[in-house]
Structure formats: structure tokens, C-alpha cells
Amino acid sequence: MKAAFLGARRLALCCTLLSLSVSISISISMALAQQSDSAPTPQNTPSSVRDLVGEAEINNPEIQAAEHGWKAASQASKGAGALPDTHLTVQSFSVGSPRPFAGFSNSNFAYIGFGASQDLPYPGKRKLRSVVSEREAESLRGQSEAVRQQVIGDLKSAYFQLSYLQQTLAVLERNDQVLGTIEQAAESRYRVGVGNQQDVLKAQLQHTKILQEITMHHREAGQLQARLKQLLGRPQDSPDIVTEFLSLHPLARTSSDLLKRVQEQNPRVQTRAAMVSKTDAQVDLAKKEFRPDFSVQYMFQRTGTSFPAYYMASLSINLPNRGKRRADLAQAVEEREQARQELSAETQRQMAEVQSQYVLAQTSAEQLKIYTEGLIPQSRTAFRSALAAYQSNQQDFAPMLSSFLDLLNLDLEYQRELATHESALARLETLTGVTLQ
């Protein structure tokens, strides 16, 4: 009778374990399938990165300020080559009394005069001044474009980081559900005397760690939301931004092609090139300043009707101080050499950054392929195998939990690497002006 009781107890225990095994297997399989095949469903409508870029170009105050600065400089360049202001003169010369028109009718010294004068720079100076101002406006236009590209680059970087956090948050929440199922199974096995309390404590510890990671994700996501709203010119109390599901964009351009585009389209290089052109014109203008400027004046003087009128024309020549002009020329030459060296340095800096980001994007794409074709499928298979062995009492809890954590970490690393790859492409777009995403 005792043997029959023990047999019935073993049968009940086996049925309980079988029920738990089926339950945990179904729950985990569903969670894994959801994790690998579906994207997180946001509560709000996702905003694409292109839509946000267009919004930033319109509303970002830094972009608008830089654009207005460039437009102001372009207006100033129109007047740089104009003639100096014309001066009009009215004179009254009195005789015998300080009263106006005293002696006007009885003295041929008293008169009222009208005149005009005009300064005339030496031929070629006005054109060179206009060229200098135009090159200055071009450099400000390049700076405006550099500001725009920088803002867009910061926007994309924050967007991809937020997308990574939102996607990994969903991964953490799903894996926490899986871990909760594993924890329930460990508790049930412990209650029926098959497992041990250490397994339950390990599962609870990992559950707490995931909750901590979720809290950290919420904090970082909140900081990125504030940064994105600032770049977009939105109020900080506006609804949070939901990103699109992050996907891989292959890098189709070659390194040599991207490096070539640096000299053609990089705004910082273009700004330095405009500064070189400006200093070239300044050197030519400094040489032209050795030439004298002129001033012409014409006066009409009228006394009483019984006296003849006077007409006077004059020409003045302004002789430049050659010592000062030589100093100005030497300064202009040194500034030109400085601008050329700064252009060379900026070009090398931008090319080095392009090459660095290109290598990062290439290696990141290779790493993502290793994740999707090797590490993650292998880890998922290992976890399922460890889970099956644990369910059949052929393996302890620790190896199964270790396989679960390996799979979780690989999923998180994949999402991080994907965000790194897309951020590298965004940086390359900023550096070269080429659309890659």
C-alpha cells in the first residue's frame, strides 16, 4: 500500500513537471518568436528621420540664425563696390555783418554758393573690394551650411540612439516576461522538491537586473527626448517622439568616392576655400592701395544781380602713405598663407574623419552579419537546447539561465551595433553631402 502511495506521488510529480515544462516551453517559444520576427508597436505614430530633418531645417534657431547672417553678408557685398557717398555743399559768405546775405547786393565778395564733391577710388579698387566682400559672404554661406549639417547630424545621432533605446526596451520587456516564466517554473520545481532555492534566487536576481536596465533606458530616453525637442524647436512639454524601427542601410559608396566628395561638398572645406579666395582678393587690393585716390568738386557761387557769377571746379589727389601700405600688404600676404594652411588642415581633418567613419560603417556591417547569421541563431538554439535539458532534469538551472542571458546580451549588442552603423552613415552624410540613408 505504501508502494502504491509512492507510485501515485511520483506520477503526480511527473505530471506536474510535465505541465510546467509544456507551459514554460510554450511561453518561451512565443516570446522568442515575437522577439525575432516583430517590431515593437509604438503607442504614437512613428516619426521618420527625414520628416524630423525637414522640421529642424525650418524651426531650428541655430540654422535660422546662420542663414540670416549669410543673407545679411550677401546684402553687404552689393554695396562694397559702390562709389563713396556724394557730398553736397551750401555756402553763404557775408560782408560787413554776420547776418546772412549781408553785402549780397553791394559787394562782389558776398555770395551764396552751391557745390557737390565726389571721391573716386583708383580704377580697380572698387571691383576688388566687391570681390573681397563677396568671398566673405561665401564663407558665411559655408558656415551656415556647416551649422545646418551639424544640427542635422546631431539630430540623426540622437534619433538613432533613441531608436536603439526604444527597440532594446521592448527586447528587455519581452525577455523579462520569459525570465518571469522561468522564475515561476523554478519556484514550482522547488515547491515539489525537485529544484532548489538557489535557482529561484538567481532568477529573481536577474529579474531585478533587467528592471534596473529598463529604468536606465527610461532615463537615457528622456534625456534624448529633451535633446531632440531642442533641435526641432519644439516645446519641452510636447508629446514624446516615437522613432521608426531601425533597419540596416548598406553602404554602397566606395571610400575613394566619399573622399572625393569632401573637397567638393563638405561645408567646412568650402568655407576655408572661400576664405582663401577672400585673402587672394585682399592681397590684390593691398597692392592696388599703393595707387592714389581722387576727389572732384564743383562749386557755383552767386552774388547780386549786378555782379557776375563764379564757377569753380577742383581735383584733389590723395597720396597714400607707402610705409603703411607696405605693412598692409605684408599682413595680407601672411593672412593668405594662413588661410591656405587652414584649408589644407581642414581638408585633411575631414578626410580622416570620413575614412574613420567609413571603416566603422564597414566593420559594423560585417559585425551585424555575424550577429544575424551566426551568434544570435546559435545562441537561440543553445538556449532552447539548455531549456529542453532542464525540463527533462538532464541539466541544472545555472547553464540554462546562462544560455538565456547570452541570448539576451547578444540581442542587445545587435541593436547597439545597428545604431552605431546608422550613426556612422549619418556622420558620413554630414561630411560628404551624399545621401546614404
What sections of 38-124 are H helices per DSSP? 49-59, 61-80
- Residue 2: the pLDDT is 43
Strand partners, 113: 91, 301
Exposure string for 90-121, b = 16+ CB within 10 A, e = fewer: eeebbeeeeeeebbbeebeebbbbebebebbb
Q: Distance between CA 370 and CA 381 in Å, rounded? A: 15
**Backbone phi, then psi, for 241, in 5-degree steps?**
-90, 135
3-state secondary structure of 109: coil
Residue whose cell numbers read 558620413: 428
pLDDT in tens, 388-403: 887 777 777 778 888 8
All cell numbers assigned to 78: 552689393
- Residue 17: the pLDDT is 43
Q: Is residue 30 pLDDT above 70, yes or no? A: no
Q: Distance between CA 327 and CA 332 in Å, rounded? A: 9
- Residue 195: the pLDDT is 65
Q: Is residue 18 pLDDT above 50, yes or no? A: no
Average pLDDT in the chain: 84
Average pLDDT over residues 343-351: 94
266, 432 Cβ separation under 8 angstroms: yes
pLDDT in tens, 128-167: 998 999 898 888 898 999 999 999 999 999 999 999 998 8
pLDDT in tens, 317-340: 999 999 999 999 999 999 999 999
The structural domains of the chain, with segments of one domain joined by +, span 2-432
* Fold of domain 2-432: Outer membrane efflux proteins (OEP) (1.20.1600)
Which residue, 160, 163, 157, is CA-closest to 242? 163
pLDDT in tens, 305-321: 778 888 999 999 999 99
All cell numbers assigned to 398: 545555472
What sections of 192-254 are H helices per DSSP? 197-232
Average pLDDT over residues 65-81: 86
E-only strand ranges, 322-400? none
Q: Distance between CA 424 and CA 234 in Å, rounded? A: 26
- Estimate the crossing angle of helix 125-191 against helix 397-432, to 10 degrees: 170
What band does 245 get if pLDDT is binned at 50, 70 and 90?
A: confident
Overall size of the chain counted in residues: 437
Report the range of poorest mean pLDDT among 13-27, 78-92, 263-277.
13-27
What string of DSSP letters covers 152-194? HHHHHHHHHHHHHHHHHHHHHHHHHHHHHHHHHHHHHHHHTTS
Q: Distance between CA 301 and CA 299 in Å, rounded? A: 6
